[in-house]
Chain A
Amino acid sequence: MALDVMKTHVLHEWKHGKPLIACRFEPQGRFLFSSSEDYTLQRWNAETGEKIAWEAHDSWVRDFAFMPDGETVISAGCDDRIIFWPTTAEKLEPKLEIVAHKGWVRSVDVNSDGSLIATGGNDRAVKLWSPDGKLVREFVGHERDVYSVRFHPGGQFLLSGDLDGKVHQWEVNSGKLVRTFEAKDLHSYNGGQQVHYGGIRDIRLSPDKKLLAMTGLHKATNPLGAVNEPLNYLFDWESGSESKKQPAEGVGGIGWRIEFLSDGSEIVASGGNGGGFLLFFKPAEEKPYHKLKLPNTARDMSVHPDGLRVATAHHDGQIRISKMTEKAA
């Protein structure tokens, strides 16, 4: 069946039972990996929902990445470490552990040929690692916690986003800071509560590499009380200029994850006071052209390699698989 965003519906609910944090499909689409507040990781058979759970880090895991062949999954923990796991093994034992940051490793990504792994964390550092665990380079320049890292698909650049709403573009080979994209509305300082809030929660390049997309939140009138709304920023990659701001008005929450679909539109998972949503945007338009309310707040999202299924991780301990097609008869 063909992609039909307007017909998106929840196809499966797979229960872990403890609040979930992150989820990611592996590149071949055989498995979905997820993490939970109970410190376990889960591997789900993408077709049957069969689950294996195991204790992994000494804390939560907020992100996953995969080697291009899909045979190794890397988990990014709030315990300083990234751990490499064999994707398909019956018993999941670590292949490699790296003490990557001081504090949380918030984000991890692998470049397109699998020769470099990027991490970003609460120590404000962005680091490059070789697949055998050697530190290749460290990028210094963020003034607050690094929330997200993403390789440019061409491999020449690395992008890293922080709490301040800044995305730095680094040259991978030299470590040089090329330019900074400022998504100012994705950060705010609340003088009454005296807290900084927001951040670049995710970064993504469009398939044609012409647009740089990021998501997060704005209108944080009460950060401590979660009064805020999701917001995407789109930048023209060539010129570096701001192309579009895409608010999801009336949807209380945070944009946790952004991806592009095969028709060129963006899909965002949001969660927060307003519950969970899948939000669909067209790059040329400001408002979402479709919203799917999910049964529970969403905390992460991953689009299956088939481009038709999307997984969301939820606070109620469920993985939900939604299908962006007409319902099967």
Chain B
Amino acid sequence: MPRNTGCNVFDHAVSRRGFLGAASAAATVGGLLTPVQAEAVQSGHKRVLQLYLQGGVSQFESWDPKPGTKYGGPFRAISTSVPGIQICELLPHTAQRMHRFSIVRSINLKTNDHGQGRLFMEKGRRAGEFPYIGAVAAKYLSPQRPTLPGYLHITTRGLNDNTNAFLEAPYAQMKLEGVQAPANLAHPDKVADDAARRREEIRSRLSERFAGRSGQKSFVESFESSFEMADRLMSQKSLFESEPSAKDVERYGSHPFGLRCILARKLLENGATCVKVTHHGYDTHAENFNFHLEQLGEYDKTACMLLDDLHDSGMLDSTLVMIYSEFGRTPKINQRYGRDHWGSSVSVAAGGCGIKPGVVVGATNPDGTAVADREVDAGHLFHTWFQALGIDSTADHAIPGKTIPIGDPTKAPIEEILA
């Protein structure tokens, strides 16, 4: 299953001395590492951070600006830290860090439907029951003894999809309602920790016995995974209870997205494999430009603070960062200054683990109405993410008795952005 990328420091054993050297170097950039950051770097655990711009961020107002063209809109393009790459002026902080990212500008999803676009981007398949990126990552990248559920989604909206499909229940997405701690993490007042532990052991033994006698092993496993997930969260409840530092709030912002990104960093540092943070408000059928000013103004600095922290701690090398939506927005500006749904010429950005930075793949035509070069879709992206993470996406899932390729066999990774 593992893919030999030949590029990732964690493909090789990390010696303690080597780690300390790397940590020391990182410390000179971003200050001393905390113990959890040091452990996160040392563990070799690969992770995924999904920054999901829900509703469909406009490619014109983000990664593929076309100022002065028929549908370009009012925003200008700005230069970035990578000579020759320009992005929209709404992303000035990102522009300064473009040397850590790459962009794919030639995605044709062939759908303008929120649900279809989201499922395609998450599953890498247009149809069928397949697991989401986060579930696949949780299955193949989670440590032997995970300290948190593998796939966490911080949001306040969204549908309850079957995110793990045929994968085991522990790899399903666990949704967190913003930064609120999940309900009932603490033991009831009258139950001491020791008593709760003994109670859990009894429950577990009874489950084992029931599984053996009833012939409903998978049902019991699913049931057990819920308890395990709850147990992990209960042991980590301090992550939700501790207030973010004033410095973090100042850097990330006090708005919901800022607080969610602070929590995302804590979850990644403390053993989560995939953390998805949804930023809402991009389905801009009206006032597209005002809302992109507002939303990307909030997104840009916050996301960059999170990426800076991952970089400074050394975690970015082992964390794949995806910035994406379910589709883009129409070239044509409607009568309400809006842009509508558009899946025909979409962009995404990515960086971190296994991604070659500073690359732009593909191009749209001058007016941005169609892909002009190197057309790809979400199937190609799906392969790319897992190849970047060192997972052979052309292999079959490790499911006994089933032969199901991890990625769509008719698609291939986008090699140009693989490190």
Report if A and B associate in a common complex. yes
A residues neighboring B (CB under 8 Å):
19, 37-39, 58-60, 78-79, 103-104, 122, 145, 192-197, 223-226, 271-273, 296-297, 315-316
**What are the nearest 9 A-B pairs in CB distance?**
A226-B286, A315-B335, A60-B74, A78-B74, A297-B335, A194-B280, A226-B336, A195-B281, A59-B74
Chain B residue at minimum C-beta to C-beta distance from A78: B74
> Could you tell me if A145 and B293 are in contact, using CB atoms closer than 8 angstroms?
yes
Give a binary string over B208-242; 1 marks a CB under 8 Å from any A CB, 0 the rest: 00000000000000000000000000000000000
Task: Tell whether, in the assembled complex, residue B294 and residue A195 are in contact, meaning their CB atoms are under 8 Å apart.
Answer: yes
Q: Among residues 169 to 194 in chain B, which have CB atoms less than 8 Å away from a CB atom of chain A?
A: none
Task: List 8 A–B pairs whose Cβ atoms lie within 8 Å, in order of A's numbering.
Answer: A59-B75, A197-B287, A224-B287, A225-B285, A226-B336, A271-B335, A272-B336, A273-B336
**A225 cross-chain contacts in B, Cβ below 8 A:** 283, 285-286
Tell whether, in the assembled complex, residue A224 and residue B67 are in contact, meaning their CB atoms are under 8 Å apart: no
Residues in A neighbouring B286, C-beta threshold 8 A = 223-226, 272-273
* Chain B residues touching A, majority SS: loop
Contacts of B334 in A (CB 8 A): 315
Q: Are B335 and A58 in contact (CB under 8 A)?
A: no
Given A78-B74, A79-B76, A297-B336, verify A224-B256 contact (CB < 8 Å).
no
Query: Chain A's interface: helix, strand, loop or mixed, by majority?
Result: loop
Docked Cα-Cα span, A59 to B73, in Å, equals: 8
Kindly state the interface size class of chain B when it binds its partner: 20 to 34
A58–B69 alpha-carbon span in the complex (Å):
11
A-facing mask of B267-310, CB < 8 A → 1, else 0? 00000000000011101111100010111000000000000000
In the bound complex, do residue B68 and residue A226 qualify as a contact, i.e. CB atoms below 8 Å apart? Answer: no
Known contacts: A223-B286, A226-B285. The answer to whether A39 contacts B68 by CB under 8 A is yes
Q: Given the complex, which residues of B lie within 8 Å of A58, measured CB to CB?
A: 67-68, 76
Say how far A108's CB is from chain B's closest CB, in angstroms.
16
C-alpha gap A104/B67 in the complex (Å): 15
CB pair A224 B283 closer than 8 Å? yes
Q: From B74, B76, B291, B293, give the contact of A224 (CB < 8 A).
A: B291
Q: Using CB atoms, name the residue of chain B closest to A55.
A: B68
State how many angstroms separate the Cβ of B115 from the closest Cβ of chain A.
17
Chain B residues closer than 8 Å to A79, beta-carbon distance: 76
In the complex the two chains form, what is the Cα distance from A144 to B294 in whole Å?
10
- What is the CA–CA distance of A197 and B294 in the complex, to the nearest angstrom? 10
User: A104: nearest residue on chain B (CB-CB)?
Assistant: B74
Q: Inside 8 A of B68's CB, which chain A residues have their CB?
A: 39, 58
Given A225-B286, A272-B336, A296-B335, the answer on whether A194 and B256 have CB atoms closer than 8 Å is yes
A122 to B55 Cα, complex, angstroms: 24
Shortest B257–chain A CB gap in Å is 8
Query: A59-B67, A59-B74, A104-B74 in contact; A192/B157 too (CB < 8 A)?
Result: yes
Given contacts A223-B286, A224-B285, A225-B285, contact A59 B76 (CB under 8 A): yes
Is the CB of B91 closer than 8 A to any CB of chain A? Answer: no
B288 CB to nearest chain A CB (Å): 9
Contacts A193-B283, A195-B294, A224-B284 supplied; 4 other A-B pairs, CB < 8 Å: A19-B333, A59-B75, A271-B335, A296-B335
B338 within 8 A of A: yes
- Which of B294, B335, B336 counts the most A-chain CB atoms under 10 A from its CB? B335
Select from chain B the residue with minimum beta-carbon distance to A296.
Answer: B335
Decide yes or no: A195 and B291 within 8 Å by CB, A226-B285, A226-B338, A273-B336 being known contacts: yes
Bound complex: CA A296 to CA B257 (Å): 38
Are A193 and B335 in contact, CB atoms less than 8 angstroms apart?
Answer: no
Give B239-267 as 1s and 0s: 1 = Cβ < 8 Å from A's Cβ atoms. 00000000000000000110000000000
**A19 CB contacts on chain B under 8 angstroms:** 333, 335
What residue of chain B has the Cβ atom nearest to residue A61's Cβ?
B74
Closest to B255 in A: A194
The residue on B at minimum CB distance from A191 is B156
* Interface-central residue, B73, B75, B256, B336, by most chain A CB under 10 Å: B336
- Rounded to whole angstroms, the CA-CA distance of A272 and B293 in the bound complex is 20
Residue of A nearest to B71 (CB): A37
Q: How far is the CA of A38 from the CA of B156 in the complex (A)?
A: 39
A223→B334 CA distance, assembly (Å): 15
Which residues in A have their C-beta under 8 angstroms from that of B336? 226, 271-273, 297
Neighbouring A residues of B157 by C-beta, 8 Å: 192
Name the distance in Å between B113's Cβ and chain A's nearest Cβ. Answer: 16
Residues of A within 8 A of B287 (CB): 197, 223-224, 226
Task: Take A224-B286, A224-B291 as given contacts and tell me if A194 and B281 are in contact as well, using a CB distance cutoff of 8 Å.
Answer: yes
Across the interface, do A193 and B293 meet the contact criterion of CB distance under 8 Å?
A: no
Instruction: Please tell me if the beta carbons of A196 and B294 are within 8 angstroms of each other in the complex.
Output: yes
List, in ascending order, chain B residues with CB within 8 A of A194's CB. Answer: 156, 256-257, 279-281
**Chain A residues whose CB sits within 8 angstroms of the CB of B335 once the complex forms:** 19, 271-272, 296-297, 315-316
| Shortest Cβ distance from residue A326 to the other chain B in the assembled complex, whole angstroms | 31
Nearest-neighbour CB distance to chain A for B69, whole angstroms, equals 9
